Structure 1
Amino acid sequence: MTSLILFGSLTLFLLLSIPIGISIGLASLITILYSNVIPLEFIVQGLVTSVDSFPLMAVPFFILAGEIMGKGGISERLFRVANSIVGNVTGGFAIATIFTCMFFAAISGSGPATVAAIGGIMIPAMVRQGYDIKFATALVAAAGSIGVIIPPSIPMVIYGVTGSVSIGDMFIAGIIPGIIIGFGLILYAYYYSKKKGYKGTGVKPTLKNFGKEVWSAKWALLVPFIILGGIYGGIFTPTEAAVVAVIYGLIAGVFIYRELKFKEIPRVMIDAALTTATVLIIVGTATTFGRLLNLEQIPRKIADSLLTISDNKFVIILLILVLLLIVGCFMETIASIIILTPILLPIGISLGYDPIHFGVLMITGLAIGFITPPLGVNLFVGSGISGVSIEALSKAIFPFFLVMVLILVLISFIPQISLFLVN
Structure 2
Amino acid sequence: MDANVAIALFGSFLLLVFLGIPVSFSIGIATVISIAMMMPTDIAIGVVAQRLAAGLDSFSLLAIPFFILAGTLMSNGGIAMRLINLALVLGGRLPGSLGHVNVLSNMLFGSISGSAVASAAAVGGTLAPIQKKAGYDPAYSTAINVSSCISGLLIPPSNVLIVYSLSAGGVSVAALFVAGYIPGILMGLAVMVTAGIIAKRRNYPVETKPTRAHVLKAVLDAIPSLMMIVIVIGGILGGIFTATEASAIAVVYTFILSVLVYRQVSIRQLPSLILESVVTSSIVLLLVGFSTGMSWAMTNAGIPFAISNFLLGISENPIIILLMITLTLLIVGVFMDMTPAVLIFTPILLPVATDLGIDPVHFGIMMVFNLCIGLCTPPVGSALFVGCSVSGVKIQHLIKPLMPFYLALIAMLLAVTFLPSLSLLLPRILGLA
TM-score using structure 1 length: 0.96
- Hey, what does 2:431 align to over in structure 1? none
* Distance of aligned partners of 1:42 and 1:123 in 2 relative to their CA distance in 1, 3 Å threshold: farther
* Distance of aligned partners of 1:101 and 1:292 in 2 relative to their CA distance in 1, 3 Å threshold: same
- Rounded to whole Å, the distance in 2 between the matches of 1:44 and 1:126 is 51
Give CA-to-partner distance per residue, 1:160-214, whole Å, 9 cap, x none: 112120000000000001011111110011111122221122x213443211211
Q: Where does 1:385-396 land on structure 2 (aligned, <5 Å)?
A: 385-396=390-401
- Hey, what does 2:206 align to over in structure 1? 200
Q: State the SS of the aligned residue for 2:411.
A: helix
Q: Where does 1:38-117 land on structure 2 (aligned, <5 Å)?
A: 38-117=43-122
- Hey, what does 1:16 align to over in structure 2? 19
Give CA-to-partner distance per residue, 1:234-256, whole Å, 9 cap, x none: 11111111111111111111111
- Rounded to whole Å, the distance in 2 between the matches of 1:55 and 1:87 is 40
Give CA-to-partner distance per residue, 1:133-173, whole Å, 9 cap, x none: 22222211211111211111111001111212000000000
The alignment status of 1:228 with 2:233, answered yes or no, reads yes
Q: State the SS of the aligned residue for 1:421.
A: helix
Give CA-to-partner distance per residue, 1:59-112, whole Å, 9 cap, x none: 111111111011101111011011023223321111011111111222122222
Q: Where does 1:365-384 land on structure 2 (aligned, <5 Å)?
A: 365-384=370-389
* Stretch moving more, 405-414 or 83-92: 83-92
- Rounded to whole Å, the distance in 2 between the matches of 1:29 and 1:125 is 52
- Paired amino acid for 2:165: G
Q: State the SS of the aligned residue for 2:397.
A: helix
* Stretch moving more, 35-44 or 278-287: 35-44
- Hey, what does 2:129 align to over in structure 1? 124
Contact preservation (8 Å) 2:112, 2:226: no
The alignment status of 1:215 with 2:220, answered yes or no, reads yes
- Paired amino acid for 1:241: A
Q: State the SS of the aligned residue for 1:217.
A: helix
Contact preservation (8 Å) 1:85, 1:205: no
How much has 1:123 moved relative to structure 2?
2.3
The alignment status of 1:166 with 2:169, answered yes or no, reads no
Among residues 2, 6, 14, which one is paired with 1:3 in the alignment? 6
- Rounded to whole Å, the distance in 1 between the matches of 2:291 and 2:403 is 30
- Hey, what does 1:181 align to over in structure 2? 187
Among residues 318, 341, 344, which one is paired with 2:346 in the alignment? 341
Give CA-to-partner distance per residue, 1:297-326, whole Å, 9 cap, x none: 100000000011112110010000001101
Q: Where does 1:264-283 land on structure 2 (aligned, <5 Å)?
A: 264-283=269-288
TM-score using structure 2 length: 0.94
- Hey, what does 1:36 align to over in structure 2? 39
* Stretch moving more, 186-195 or 395-404: 395-404
- Rounded to whole Å, the distance in 2 between the matches of 1:396 and 1:25 is 39
- Paired amino acid for 1:420: L
* Stretch moving more, 148-157 or 110-119: 110-119
How much has 1:23 moved relative to structure 2?
1.5
Among residues 251, 275, 292, which one is paired with 2:297 in the alignment? 292
* Stretch moving more, 405-414 or 391-400: 391-400
Contact preservation (8 Å) 1:105, 1:146: yes
- Rounded to whole Å, the distance in 2 between the matches of 1:332 and 1:260 is 30
Structure 2: 5+ residue runs without aligned partners? 429-433
Among residues 190, 196, 202, which one is paired with 1:190 in the alignment? 196
Give CA-to-partner distance per residue, 1:202-238, whole Å, 9 cap, x none: x213443211211122211212111111111111111
Q: State the SS of the aligned residue for 1:259.
A: coil
Structure 1: 5+ residue runs without aligned partners? none
Contact preservation (8 Å) 1:151, 1:175: yes
Give CA-to-partner distance per residue, 1:32-59, whole Å, 9 cap, x none: 3344355211222222221111111111
Q: How many residues matched?
A: 422
The two structures, once aligned, show a CA RMSD in angstroms of 1.5
* Stretch moving more, 184-193 or 16-25: 16-25
Percent identity, aligned pairs only, is 39
Contact preservation (8 Å) 2:120, 2:145: yes
